A and B are shown apart, each in its own frame.
Chain A
Amino acid sequence: AQSVAQPEDQVNVAEGNPLTVKCTYSVSGNPYLFWYVQYPNRGLQFLLKYITGDNLVKGSYGFEAEFNKSQTSFHLKKPSALVSDSALYFCAVRASLQTGANNLFFGTGTRLTVIP
C-alpha cells in the first residue's frame, strides 16, 4: 500500500528565514515523489518532482526538495521564505512500478505561514 505522511499540520516561519516542510512516504518499489502548493480558492500547482537521478530536486519559485531513500523522506525546502509562500503544501507519491494507472496518493497537507 502507498501512503504519505506530513507530520506537521502547520509550519510558521519568519520572512527571510529558511523553511522546511516535512514528508515521509511508504511505497512498494521505487517512488515517484511530488510537491504541490494550493492557494485559497485555487487548484493545486505543481512545484517539483523526483523520478530518478540527483537526490536534490529544484523546482518552481526557489523551492527544492531532497529525496532520502534510507529515511523514506522527501522534505521541501527554501533558503529564504517570502510572505507570498504562505499556502497549503501537499506531498504526493506513486509507485514507479505502477503501470497504466497514475494514482497519486496525497498527504493531508501542511499549512505554511510566513510571518512578516
Chain B
Amino acid sequence: EAGVAQSPRYKIIEKRQSVAFWCNPISGHATLYWYQQILGQGPKLLIQFQNNGVVDDSQLPKDRFSAERLKGVDSTLKIQPAKLEDSAVYLCASSSGSQETQYFGPGTRLLVL
C-alpha cells in the first residue's frame, strides 16, 4: 500500500513570498491533516479535513495560511505572505476515519530567508 505523498520535499523562499505544498493521502483515507513541526518541537495540528470539509482549523493562522481539499482527496496548504517564523517541516497525515490512527508523509521542509 502506497503511503502519504508530499511535494516538494524542500523549499527555500524569501519572506513575504508565497508558497504551496501538496499532499496525496493513502488511498481511501477520508481524513487528512496538516501539521507544522518547528525544529526541536513536536508536530502541531494546523487543520483537519473530513472528506472535503474542515473539521478543525483552530490552530491555523488564517491571516496567512489557507488549505483546501476540493475533491476530498488531494490537499494543498498555502502560505501567503511567508514570515521567517514559518520555517518548519510541514507534515501531511491521513487516516481511514476521524478517530483512527494517523499515518504521516515524509514532510516538506520550508526555509524562509
In the assembled complex, B107 has its CB within 8 A of some CB on chain A: yes
Q: Which residues of B contact A46 (CB under 8 A)?
A: 101-104
Contact B91 A44 (CB under 8 A): yes
Q: What total of A-B pairs shows CB separation below 8 Å?
A: 62
Contact A108 B106 (CB under 8 A): no
Contact B42 A102 (CB under 8 A): no
- List CB contacts (< 8 Å) of A69-113 with chain B: 90, 92, 100-109
Contact A100 B56 (CB under 8 A): yes
Q: With A43-B4, A43-B91, A106-B42 known to touch, is A101 a contact of B104 (CB < 8 Å)?
A: no
Q: Which residues of A contact B6 (CB under 8 A)?
A: 43
Q: How far is the CB of A90 from the nearest CB of chain B, in Å?
A: 6
Question: What CA separation (Å) do A107 and B6 show in the bound complex?
Answer: 23
Q: Mark B69-99, 1 if CB is under 8 A from A, else 0.
A: 0000000000000000000000101010011
Q: How far is the CB of A44 from the nearest CB of chain B, in Å?
A: 4
Q: Which residues of B contact A101 (CB under 8 A)?
A: 48, 55-56, 98
Q: With A43-B107, A100-B56, A102-B48 known to touch, is A4 a contact of B42 (CB < 8 Å)?
A: yes
Contact A107 B48 (CB under 8 A): no
Q: Which residues of A contact B40 (CB under 8 A)?
A: 108-109
Q: Mark B17-45, 1 if CB is under 8 A from A, else 0.
A: 00000000000000101000000111111
Residues in B lying within 8 Å of A, measured CB to CB: 4, 6, 9, 31, 33, 40-45, 48, 50, 55-56, 91, 93, 95, 98-107, 109
Instruction: Other than A44-B104, A92-B42, give 11 A-B pairs with Cβ distance below 8 A.
Output: A36-B104, A41-B9, A41-B109, A43-B4, A44-B43, A45-B104, A101-B56, A102-B98, A102-B102, A104-B43, A107-B42
Q: List 17 A-B contacts (CB under 8 A).
A: A34-B101, A41-B9, A42-B106, A43-B91, A43-B105, A43-B106, A44-B91, A46-B101, A46-B102, A49-B101, A100-B55, A100-B98, A101-B98, A102-B48, A103-B56, A106-B43, A107-B42
Residues in A lying within 8 Å of B, measured CB to CB: 4, 34, 36, 41-46, 49, 90, 92, 100-109
Please give me the 9 A-B residue pairs with the lowest Cβ-Cβ distance, nearest first.
A106-B42, A43-B104, A101-B56, A44-B104, A43-B106, A43-B105, A103-B45, A102-B98, A43-B107
